[in-house]
Amino acid sequence: MADTRGLQQDEIHKKSIATLIQTHFDCLDAVVILANGTVPRLTVSTDYALSTLSSIFPKTLAKNIAFIFTNLSSPLSWNFSQDSVPEILRDAPQYLLDNPIALQKKYVELKNNPNMTKVRTECHRAMKASEQKALEMLVDLFDWLDGLTPQPTTEIVSLYEKSQEIGAKISNILAQMDQASAKKAEIDKFMTALKKDSSVSSHLSCTRHLI
């Protein structure tokens, strides 16, 4: 979703998602949304993706949707505003994650740097703490997943087909409006030319009478 190549590409993505679900899945266990927890609001692309997917996801799937907010070493770093979450997802579970793999890579770089000896122990402690937090978060996430009731995908496919039908009708109406606008402009141009010709004819007629 929110492909930089344009809305047409987004439609291709949406179609591929619906086709994949229809072909390979009888039910859907969960949808997990990853978002940067350091930004105050959902990004435009994430918000657009949620709105687009909401058009094909039934309301019954709302209980099977969760958020994972990333880049958070502490809840105090969480700048995200709950007001930017769509109302239907306000009660969705929210998990915080600071990617331990990224910290591990950073620690290896510091470990091999002779100038960072003094902070090596502190960095190692922070890395281990991040690993523990990530593990606890995953345990909570899988506990939530285990308690979910899988949702059938038939309604998703049905909603996608309906959204496509509505989109086609809207496109058809817009095309008809464009045609009507073009025709009106053509008629207005003709009427202006007709009035101009009529004015010229009247002027010539008056001139002949004077002669």
The residue behind tokens 């045609």 is 179
- Report pLDDT for 127: 84
What token pair was written down for 167? 């989109």
Phi, psi of 86 (to 5 degrees): -55, 140
Residues 6+ positions from 59 with CB-CB distance below 8 Å: 88
- Report pLDDT for 139: 94
- Report pLDDT for 206: 52
Cα dihedral 114, 117, 118, 124, rounded to 10, equals: 140
- Report pLDDT for 170: 66
Distance CA 59, CA 80 (A): 24
Distance CA 5, CA 12 (A): 11
Please give the chain's pLDDT, 211 residues, in tens: 555 566 666 677 667 777 777 787 788 888 888 888 888 776 676 676 677 666 667 777 888 889 998 888 777 778 777 777 777 788 889 999 888 888 888 888 777 777 766 777 788 888 888 889 999 999 999 999 999 988 887 777 666 666 666 666 666 676 677 677 777 777 777 667 766 766 545 554 555 554 5
Residues 6+ positions from 141 with CB-CB distance below 8 Å: 32, 66, 68, 95
- Report pLDDT for 7: 62
- Report pLDDT for 81: 77
Does the domain made of 7-152 have the CATH classification 3.40.50?
yes
Q: Which amino acid is at 35?
A: A
Q: In a 3-state reduction of DSSP, which class is residue 31?
A: strand
- Report pLDDT for 140: 95
- The pTM assigned to this predicted structure is 0.62
